[in-house]
Structure 1
Amino acid sequence: MQILRKARIQVGLVTILLASVWGTYVTSAAQAEEIKPTVYAEWKDPSSGSTYYNWSGSDGEKYTNKVIVSTNDGKWAQLNDKFARISTDYSKLSSYPELSIDFSNASAVDLFDYINPLYLDTTAQAAVRGLNYDISPDGKWGLYRTSNFGAEMSANGKSVYSTKLHSYFLKNMATGEIQEWISSLRSVTVYWLADSKLLVAQYSPEAKQKEISTYDPATGETKQLVLGTLYVYSDKEQKLLFTKNEPWRIPWVYDLKTGRSSLATKTEQENLYAWIDPRPTTKAPDNLDMKTLPVIDLPIHRLYEHEVMTSQGSELVPFTFVKDGEKYIPLHSLVSKFSLSIGLREGNMYDYQYKLTGASDQTVILDRNNSYMFQFRLYVTPEVLEKVGLEDVTVRTDMKGVIK
């Protein structure tokens, strides 16, 4: 009996030992697999020919993401560790790829500005915080998509709840004027068409169903194409695949050139869904040593598109915009220049009040009726600024953007 018990104990120990050895082997192999970096090319600078890559892997201490770059002469470097990723939406006609911040290496300003896009401007040799426009084919209009966070009052008027708004801005590239075109709780799908009109797919409150239409920014005219849900738009084919607002969801094709709809064949669907990856196909070498790779200390600057003019002086601001016929100016950008002060908020996010005081102690109470909260920043009209002592307030929009 003792022999049998001893044998069982020995077998058990051997089993534990084998499991331990196997576990160690598997863990080491898994770790080796985990730390093997992944690298893929994302964007090639048409001016310099440099190619930018996204790199993910271990730097010897922790798993991290980096942006690396290769030049035409075969040299490699990495952006400083503030930048974690580079990305390009090839469905847009934007000029610049966007950069993502590594929040573990971000400053307080970076964290506060995270909503605003950060794009790579290789001409300015900087990462630029500013609106990155999707330019129309004729170059006359810029479309900017973003999110805004607001507040609404409940139906019974007893509580306030937060909301996420989908905001779409249009810039007249000749005059520099920017207007908030759409602000909606529902996401809107928008594409530039070849004739520089916008293809718009959204819920229509009037029709009480989904609608596909075109919008002409030059005239403000909207034209309904079909009532239905957009699935895909092909710029090459000048056709869109959609389903009517019916339970059986049969796919249809709308031809923008003829203005006619027809049932979609299998071949048509395959052609419309066909996609060729436009990213560079170049590969990074396997032996890149991130510890010794030179670092490009890319500075972060801000784009100023407009200038606020007054009798007391002028100040560059990131941008102003028109909403419901009112011109809105970012208040925070003017505080230091014109010795303004903003009191603490009173009330909730919906029924907010801020006391704005001018250099000579003139005061205005800001609320929903005379100001606008956009992306957690207060925007005010020229009339409000004049009430706190600024004189002859106007906005210069027809200017080349300033990066600094």
Structure 2
Amino acid sequence: MKKILINQMPNMIGEDVKLGAWIANKRSSGKIAFLQLRDGTGFVQGVVVKADVGEEIFQQAKSLTQESSVYVTGTVTADERNSFGCEIQVTSIELISEAVDFPITPKEHGTEFLMDNRHVWLRSRKQHAIMKIRNEIIRATYEFFNNEGFVKMDPPILTGSSPEGTSELFATKYFDEDAYLSQSGQLYMEAAAMAMGKVFSFGPTFRAEKSKTRRHLIEFWMIEPEMAFVEFDESLEVQENYVSYIVQAVLKNCKLELERLGRDVAKLENITAPFPRISYDDAIEFLHKQGFDDIQWGDDFGAPHETAIAEAYDKPVFITHYPIGIKPFYMQPHPERDDVVLCADLIAPEGYGEIIGGSERIYDYELMKQRIKEHNLDEEAYKWYLDLSKYGAVPHSGFGLGLERTVAWISGSEHVRESIPFPRLLNRLYP
């Protein structure tokens, strides 16, 4: 008997097979039992007919508990009502391990309860679908950057200083000196770009920001490309092409998952480059016309402001040229203005907020020294970074995409905590 996976079943119609699976749910109707089986690749129905299998196997099927693990054998048959277009007519069941009192039953549960049981909540259909979409975004990310000639490089997680020049860092001891969990790999990726030309990283980052919003995590994953000889507008083109690519990949390869989540795919089908652009100046003017009198030139945008701007467009929108005073030290000033920098945030539609922040980077040595001083940073700690402006400096640009916000947006999830397997929140370090 050939052992297969659920996602292989559509190609096995009419064949006798063996599945290793968990019981996601079950129901019985008279002399037929219906087993909802899952194996990580998908969900499928197993049909147990008493007249075909006999009393003993039928009673065994009826007594199976939620999340018990089994081997089932049977014949794959076509059934267009099921997501894979097939089901399995079960002929025998082998119990591997019986699950007793599985905590997440087919009823409503509170968020805190589900988060306490995140290790098993991941097994649910919705969470399974979100994780599959996350995986597809990661797969498509590697594919996009490899196709575009980028080299994958890995920045350190333990650092001696802050890339953003902030105090929102997790401190630790590195033997006899202070170290911090990285909040961005950007500075190291700039060094890598000076060696390799076009590079990208994909790894965890940490922000000690005491925020409880649906958009924030303490630990999250970032995709951070850096590109030598690439200027601001060229970087925006890479960003919109990349986002378009991952959205279209999800539409192509995660149809079942999007359907399971009830996602409006028409909104995603519209996500193709180019994306609209609005300057910070024009965004302030737009918000004033929308009644946001609280925001003034020089202020950073909050969630309500970003949402209002996003609602004016049916695609992600770039907000460009922010004031120099609210952006990090390394951003290249506008060539014709001394009050704004060559940067952009990409705001996702439907209220999901910023998913990308990027800029052209300063490459003038004296200007970089000046900016480090203006931000009260320790020049000695940034000596290696200054070297990049000292030895063969070139125009270069980069950006960072927050994976979890992107997953939340594409999957239509209400809260970013569902877009990572084990979220780290302000008051949550378990499980």
Q: What TM-score does the superposition give when structure 2 sets the normalisation length?
A: 0.22
Q: What TM-score does the superposition give when structure 1 sets the normalisation length?
A: 0.24
Structure with the bigger percentage of strand: 1
* Greater relative contact order (Cα < 8 A, sep 6+): 2
